[in-house]
Chain A
């Protein structure tokens, strides 16, 4: 496979969809650590990766969202950091067999930085480095820093990645809420500040994931496009969850997504994928839109 950034210059790519719901279908219990479940069930990780690959994803994400040692510590699993991250990359690499890029997911540590919280920046930087070293040693093609709400933490993650391997592409995405004054993260970061800050930290690709359905993501993407020339990535939720008869339902169907995925591409987004509530069928819909867009 050619280098990821070079490949991106040739046209838009499709990322995969939700991980958590797919793990639950395969036995993940409520409250159980998803990364520990993946370690115990590598075959489930392989199945999920293959399902998205068959749906047409060019990028497969690893089950390492919560695998920084700071986050794993809440399950008393920080000693398993290296093993969890390494095995998750290996499972994804085996499943895709060179047919897709393996993107290693890195989510927030769950700690708030000083002075708002009690976490030292050095501690957070070291935690990201420890996770990312394991991911990179195992052969991840890309690092994906995602669902960030604090620009300070996101920047530390990007810097950790670049300090280890400046040549490995870094995608960095933040999660925004719609307010009457525009989109802001929970920590008050505007779209403009996010784009500028992530770029300054050294991200190769910026964007947004989670928190919004695909229509709001089109608005975020349009705003981002006016702010930077960097490639953009968008991974929307299948809408916001509702509870119907005791079951969680995500309202946006693959049919609803197909034309909106086209809107994202028209807005200049380079990578389109899914977050919470999306399925291989959503990814198939995106694949279809991306293929038509190129034609």
Chain B
């Protein structure tokens, strides 16, 4: 088996020990860091994402694969810095103010990283102004908001206002249990996603 296929396969198994070892081996065999990232780690996460979307896999599989990916990226980092880090785009992400639920947001964050995005995760209970400040400071192309509660979802509209007030043009992504396509339109968001896998698919489509 090709070494990069093996990286991908072990990543899909969530093997946190084998993935960094194989990444090292691939580099020693002359593969470039961007190659290992793209054809090994990201390729593996893509398979995980697709299977997760079809519910052939579940949250624990995704989280374990993400840990393996992270371990692989740690090995690649020094090499990527030399060759320049390829990025599909930069996303500022967080759960809106008043909401302490972050499983969904973390999942989107993981899958975005898996797809090659740079992610600035602001955590949970994030006030509108902090979203806007971070987007401005990071020069992010995307801002992602999550809410689990119907009571905190309206904060998303305030984040949109805060972005507008600063004249920021980042593409706005929203998601979470109570959020719908209609609500996204109503508040002027650019992208609604039902689940983490579609969030990444749609973000990739917009990034092109």
Known: A187-B60, A188-B57, A188-B59. A241 touches B150 (CB 8 A): yes
Interface string of A113-138 (1 = CB under 8 A from B): 00111000000000000000000000
Chain B contacts for A117, CB-based, 8 A: 63
B interface bracket (residues with beta carbon within 8 Å of A)? 20 to 34
A184 vs B55: C-alpha distance when bound (angstroms) = 9
Q: A30 with B60: in contact, given A74-B100, A179-B55, A241-B178 (CB under 8 Å)?
A: no
Encode B169-208 as 1/0 by CB contact (under 8 A) with A. 0000000011010110000000000000000000000000
- Cβ-closest 8 pairs across A and B: A31-B98, A188-B58, A30-B151, A179-B55, A248-B150, A116-B60, A116-B63, A74-B100
Question: Does A24 touch B at the CB level, under 8 Å?
Answer: yes
Q: State the A residues within 8 Å of B (CB).
A: 24, 29-31, 74-75, 110, 112, 115-117, 177, 179-181, 184-188, 241-243, 246, 248
| Tally of contacts, chain A with chain B, CB under 8 A | 61
Chain A residues, CB < 8 A from B60: 116, 187-188
Nearest chain A residue, comparing its CB with the CB of B54: A180
Which residues of B in the span 57-94 have a Cβ within 8 Å of any Cβ on A? 57-61, 63-64, 67
Min Cβ gap B188→A in Å is 14
Q: How far, in Å, is A246 (CB) from chain B's closest CB? A: 7
- Rounded to whole Å, the gap between the CB of A70 and the closest CB of chain B is 12
Q: Residue of B at shortest CB range from A243? A: B183
Interchain CB contact under 8 A, B55 and A181 = yes
Interface pair B54/A31, CB less than 8 Å apart: no
CB-CB under 8 A from B59, the residues of chain A are: 116, 186-188
CA distance A185 to B59 in the complex (A): 9
Within 8 A of A (CB), among B80-136: 97-100, 103, 125
A188 CA to B97 CA in the complex, in Å?
Answer: 29
A residues near B178, Cβ cutoff 8 Å = 241, 243, 248
> Which residues of chain B have C-beta atoms less than 8 A from A185's C-beta?
58
Q: How many Å from the CB of B13 to the closest CB on chain A?
A: 13
Distance from B83 Cβ to chain A, minimum over Cβ atoms (Å): 32
Q: Which residue of B lies closest to A179 (CB)?
A: B55
A76–B175 CA distance with the chains assembled, in angstroms: 27
Interface hub of A115, A180, A185 (most chain B Cβ within 10 A): A115
A-B residue pairs in contact (CB < 8 Å), sample of 20: A30-B154, A30-B155, A31-B97, A31-B99, A31-B125, A31-B151, A74-B100, A110-B100, A115-B64, A116-B60, A177-B55, A186-B103, A188-B59, A188-B60, A241-B150, A241-B178, A242-B180, A243-B182, A246-B154, A248-B150
